[in-house]
Structure 1
């Protein structure tokens, strides 16, 4: 299996949408309000245009995606007090689950952000109601830095690069 990471292009939007819908099926079952879980093609195209949307390919097929947004873009969506890039829209095709694909993509994108953006940290947000996402990010070196919502339903996590 030959893998590579690159920025998504506009023509990648249909595949990014397809794999995002597949990957976020469990999020929808949990009733969590992640924008990517109910994205349409226009939202994916806007994400590709307005964020740094990365894709991982295996033998020429997009199998995982993650986006990185600048703080000002994030502030349009959530109350975001940090000046660090924000990771979102992270999804891996479920048929590749358990192979470490998403982890390798996230490692690669964190390295790109560290080297090219010259920032000390990245952040992301997730729901505390999801049964394993917070713990997964903690295992990857992220730390909870802020609780959001009336009942702490979501958190912002930070990883020092």
Structure 2
């Protein structure tokens, strides 16, 4: 059995994360998806580590998965009034083993639900060019609350997963600040 460790990323991890994300997001670049994570520079990754809650999953000391959380209190325009999961990637060499699922479950349950008592979590994904991504999140319990067409012809989907039903308030969901009023609630 492999030794698995999940921890906060440090600046010392930036180069390894840059290489991992480049490999993991190659299929998205190939279809023209231009999210910050898909084309992240080393400087962007360093900024993400410093300003967000960036986690890594290590197997035998090697980083094989990463996921970051943006919070509603961030100084720039927050994406959501609930925590926002982004920059989720797993090394393609470790695909299908379950490490991405393990990382997502840890962040959703241990960090967001049990530690921070967050009633829900939000993420954004491709619903057309990489529609399988939306299917993955739906199987994890996420539901689309907002969709939009982007300038590349892709359909973006903002999705929410309720973590603590008795504390969840649907009225806190809104289109992200950059969406300019488009809605498909």
- Measured against the shorter chain, the TM-score band is over 0.9
For 1:148, what is the secondary structure of its paired residue? strand
In 1, the alpha carbon distance for the partners of 2:27 and 2:74 equals 27
Q: 1:15 to 1:152 in 2, by over 3 A?
A: closer
Deviation at 1:148, TM superposition (A): 2.8
2:142 counterpart residue number:
142
Deviations 1:92-146 (A, max 9, x none): 0000011111000000011111122111100000111213000110001101011
Q: 1:126 to 1:55 in 2, by over 3 A?
A: same
For 2:68, what is the secondary structure of its paired residue? strand
Structure 1: unaligned runs, 5 residues or longer: none
Q: 1:19 to 1:74 in 2, by over 3 A?
A: farther
In 2, the alpha carbon distance for the partners of 1:44 and 1:3 equals 23
In 2, the alpha carbon distance for the partners of 1:70 and 1:25 equals 27
Q: Which has the higher helix share?
A: 1
TM-score of the pair, normalised by structure 1:
0.92
In 1, the alpha carbon distance for the partners of 2:107 and 2:7 equals 9
2:102 counterpart residue number:
104
2:65 counterpart residue number:
64
- Pairing 1:6-25 to 2, within 5 Å after superposition: 6-25=7-26
* Number of equivalenced pairs: 158
Contact 1:66 1:88 in 2 (8 A): yes
Q: Which runs of 4+ in 1 moved over 6 A?
A: none
In 2, the alpha carbon distance for the partners of 1:86 and 1:74 equals 14
Aligned-pair Cα RMSD in Å: 1.7
Q: 1:139 to 1:90 in 2, by over 3 A?
A: same
Deviations 1:21-62 (A, max 9, x none): 000000001101111111110000000011100000000111
Moved more, 88-97 or 141-150: 141-150
